[in-house]
């Protein structure tokens, strides 16, 4: 075997002792609290004596610390520093690329990512499905909070004093347009938002753009804060708006996948993939969606 081939083989094999020891770190991360040696070793699938030797080295490195009173082990300061450094590098828009591509391919409909901007819920990326009639969503468009699926997702799950002010303004405008009262509009909206929170996804049908249905699911970061929404939209008649429809479930799954990549839900692996370029306008007939 040549030296080059031998080196490549060694790189593929890695260092087994590091991989074994990392099981202890993973057990501490997923458990969410300090652990006794016996429990930690059992979760990592190794004898306590072997686990102790790894833990001694990890403590020297700052990856693990031991409580002097209880003897329990927990993640150390260096482990925290690594986690914070990793989170600081996460870019929701970049990480959303492959998630949106997969969702678009799976459901065959246009999908988009929206984030909260200076003017409200704003489309920052979209992927066009193509087809006989193509639904498009312009990057930079601001989506209404009370009548679009995306806006309703933010209204239900996002927390911001500025959102409350915008929501109040929309309620006032809606009440005037319907010759109703703000109290009545707000009461109906509260019921709608409760339903959205119960299902974990928002939906809208033709309320902004006639003939267009849409679902929008919240994306959360490692703190549990909503940072984005993934929206799917299509033509009424071919886009099922049932809460448990394949469109709804696929959109929720995509949002959950992106949330995990942003660190939501514990110590699951965060896969960082390079995004595919967002689809551009097609020469086929299009429906320009002002809001979804």
Q: How far apart are CA 253 and CA 238, in angstroms?
A: 20
CA dihedral over 139, 144, 145, 149, signed as positive or negative: negative
Q: How far apart are CA 37 and CA 75, in angstroms?
A: 13
- CB-CB contact of 226 with 220 (8 Å): yes
What's the pLDDT at 88?
67
Tell me, yes or no, if the pTM score tops 0.75: no
Q: How far apart are CA 116 and CA 106, in angstroms?
A: 26
CA dihedral over 90, 107, 207, 256, signed as positive or negative: negative
185-206 confidence digits (pLDDT tens)? 999 999 999 999 999 999 999 8
**Which run of H or of E encompasses 219?**
strand 212-220
Which of the 8 DSSP states describes residue 144?
Answer: P
CA dihedral over 41, 47, 49, 53, signed as positive or negative: negative
Q: How far apart are CA 275 and CA 100, in angstroms?
A: 9
Over residues 53-65, mean pLDDT:
95
- pLDDT over threshold 50, residue 250: yes
**Which run of H or of E encompasses 25?**
helix 16-31
Q: Nearest Cα to 19, choosing from 47, 42, 45? A: 45
**Which run of H or of E encompasses 285?**
none
Q: What is the largest CA-CA distance in the chain?
A: 84
- CB-CB contact of 38 with 48 (8 Å): yes
85-137 confidence digits (pLDDT tens)? 776 676 888 899 999 999 999 999 999 999 998 789 999 998 988 766 667 67
Q: Which domains does the chain possess?
A: 3-87 (1.10.10.10), 90-289 (3.30.450.40)
């Amino acid at each position: 075997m040549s030296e080059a081939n031998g080196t490549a083989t060694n790189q593929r094999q890695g260092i087994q002792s590091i991989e074994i020891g990392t099981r202890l770190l993973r057990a501490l991360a997923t458990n969410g609290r300090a652990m006794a040696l016996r429990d930690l070793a059992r979760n990592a699938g190794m004898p306590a004596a072997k686990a102790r030797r790894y833990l001694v080295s990890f403590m020297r490195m700052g990856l693990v610390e031991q409580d002097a009173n209880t003897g329990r082990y927990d993640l150390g300061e260096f482990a925290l520093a690594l986690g914070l450094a990793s989170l600081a590098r996460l870019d929701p828009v970049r990480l959303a690329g492959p998630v949106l591509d997969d969702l678009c391919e799976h459901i065959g409909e246009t999908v988009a990512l929206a984030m909260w901007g200076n003017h409200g819920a704003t489309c920052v990326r979209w992927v066009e499905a193509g087809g006989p009639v193509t639904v498009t969503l312009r990057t930079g468009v601001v989506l209404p909070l009370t009548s679009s699926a995306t806006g309703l997702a933010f209204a239900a799950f996002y927390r911001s004093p500025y959102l409350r002010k915008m929501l109040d303004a929309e309620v006032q405008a809606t009440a005037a347009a319907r010759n109703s009262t703000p109290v009545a509009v707000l009461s109906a909206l509260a019921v709608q938002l409760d339903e959205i929170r119960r299902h974990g996804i928002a939906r809208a049908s033709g309320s902004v753009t006639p003939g267009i249905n849409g679902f929008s699911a919240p994306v959360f970061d490692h703190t549990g804060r909503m940072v984005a929404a993934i929206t799917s939209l299509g033509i009424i008649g071919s886009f099922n708006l049932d809460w448990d429809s394949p469109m709804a479930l696929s959109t929720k799954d995509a949002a959950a996948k992106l949330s995990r990549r942003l660190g939501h839900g514990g110590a699951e692996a965060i896969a960082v993939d390079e995004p595919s370029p967002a689809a551009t306008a097609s020469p086929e007939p299009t429906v320009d969606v002002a809001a979804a």
